[in-house]
């Protein structure tokens, strides 16, 4: 009766979708570990709380962020960069939880990127209305490693564009447990997230969490 949830032949659609060369959506890939992931997010946020960072242009980001792993992505009036110290807490970011690392490696391998070893995990928290404008992930030192992006909680519309900002974007609905991987020829594709619609997720509540794994250094 529940087979169609897993074999990709039923009403839930395919479990893997291509977004072009080097980019894939792995539907439900994180589902079996959602409780562990959420409890690890909670632990990370106790050590390095979510905060709304400021863009170099002086705008407050609508997405609240924290990080774990050796390197954390930060922005302030001086620019975007990776920092090995949480500027709010004045100490290193919390270690990357083992469950994070395991999931990121498995998802990367599943999408064709073996040997992914992220040293940075950006944790994004979207409240209703929060959004992420189209951007490229290009603050990393080399672009040979892919990006692994995990969605938890409320669904969102992910925009996946091309190599140029003006290229049209695919609109991809991402739900709790979905993982997107992009690398190789897709590594620098523009992407973003539409304003989050209000709702209630039984496990997460009224927001969305995104984990973005990268090799920063
Ligand atoms: C990001 O690009 O940093 C976030 C993507 C997402 O929230 O799905
Ligand atoms: Fe990004």
Q: What is the pLDDT along the chain (217 residues), one digit of tens a residue?
A: 344 444 444 455 579 999 999 999 999 999 999 999 999 999 999 999 999 999 999 999 999 999 999 999 999 999 999 999 999 999 999 999 999 999 999 999 999 999 999 999 999 999 999 999 999 999 999 899 999 999 999 999 999 999 999 999 999 999 999 999 999 999 999 999 999 999 999 999 999 999 999 999 9
Q: Is 67 in the pocket of ligand 1 (CB under 6 A)?
A: no
Q: Is 158 in the pocket of ligand 1 (CB under 6 A)?
A: yes
User: Helices 34-47 and 98-110: crossing angle, nearest 10°?
Assistant: 130
Q: Is 191 in the pocket of ligand 1 (CB under 6 A)?
A: yes
Tokens representing 193 are 């997230």
Q: Is 132 in the pocket of ligand 1 (CB under 6 A)?
A: yes
Closest approach atom of ligand 1 to CA 210: 7
Closest approach atom of ligand 1 to CA 147: 2
Q: Is 53 in the pocket of ligand 1 (CB under 6 A)?
A: no
Tracing tokens 């599943």 back to the chain, one arrives at 110
Q: Best substitution site from 204, 212, 213, 214 to test ligand 1's pocket, by max atoms within 8 Å of Cβ? A: 212
Give the domain range for residue 210. 2-214
User: What are the helix (H) ranges across the chain?
Assistant: 4-7, 34-47, 98-110
* pLDDT score of 5: 47
Cα separation, 25 vs 14, whole angstroms: 10
Instruction: Supply the residue whose CA is at minimum distance from atom 7 of ligand 1.
Output: 210
Closest approach atom of ligand 1 to CA 149: 8
CATH number at residue 204: 2.60.120.590
**158 alpha carbon to ligand 1 midpoint, in Å?**
8
8 A C-beta contact, residue 214 and residue 96:
no
- Domain count of the fold of the chain: 1
Collapsing DSSP states into helix, strand and coil, what is residue 126?
strand
Instruction: Supply the residue whose CA is at minimum distance from atom 8 of ligand 1.
Output: 210
* pLDDT score of 2: 42
Collapsing DSSP states into helix, strand and coil, what is residue 178?
coil
**Which among 140, 141, 146 has a CA at the least distance from the CA of 185?**
146
* pLDDT score of 106: 98
**5 alpha carbon to ligand 1 midpoint, in Å?**
26
**126 alpha carbon to ligand 2 midpoint, in Å?**
14
Burial class (CB in 10 A: 0-12, 13-18, 19+), 110: middle
Counting ligands in written order, the one closest to the CA of 125 is 1
Ligand 2 is an ion; its neighbours by CB within 5 Å are 137
SS3 content of the chain, % helix, strand, coil (to 5): 15, 35, 50
* pLDDT score of 12: 59
DSSP single-letter state for residue 15: S
* pLDDT score of 92: 98
DSSP character string of 43-66: HHHHHS--B--B-TTSPBPSSEEE
């Amino acid at each position: 009766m529940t087979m169609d949830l897993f074999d990709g032949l039923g009403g839930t659609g395919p479990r893997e979708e291509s977004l072009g060369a080097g980019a894939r959506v792995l539907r439900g890939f994180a589902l079996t570990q959602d409780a562990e992931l959420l409890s690890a997010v909670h632990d990370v946020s106790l050590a390095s709380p979510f905060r709304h960072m400021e863009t170099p242009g002086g705008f407050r980001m609508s997405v609240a962020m924290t990080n774990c792993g050796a390197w954390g992505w930060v922005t302030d009036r001086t620019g975007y960069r990776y920092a090995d110290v949480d500027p709010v807490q004045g100490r290193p970011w919390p270690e990357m939880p083992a469950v994070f690392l395991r999931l990121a490696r498995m998802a990367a391998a599943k999408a064709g990127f073996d040997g992914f070893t992220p040293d940075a995990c950006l944790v994004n928290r979207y409240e209703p209305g929060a959004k992420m404008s189209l951007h490229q992930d290009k603050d990393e030192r080399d672009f040979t490693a892919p990006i692994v992006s995990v969605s938890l909680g409320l669904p969102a519309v992910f925009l996946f564009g091309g190599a140029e900002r003006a290229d049209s974007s695919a609109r991809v609905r991402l739900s709790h447990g979905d993982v997107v991987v992009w690398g190789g020829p897709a590594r620098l594709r523009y992407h973003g997230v539409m304003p989050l619609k209000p709702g209630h997720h039984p496990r997460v509540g009224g927001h969305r969490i995104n984990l973005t794994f990268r090799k920063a250094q």
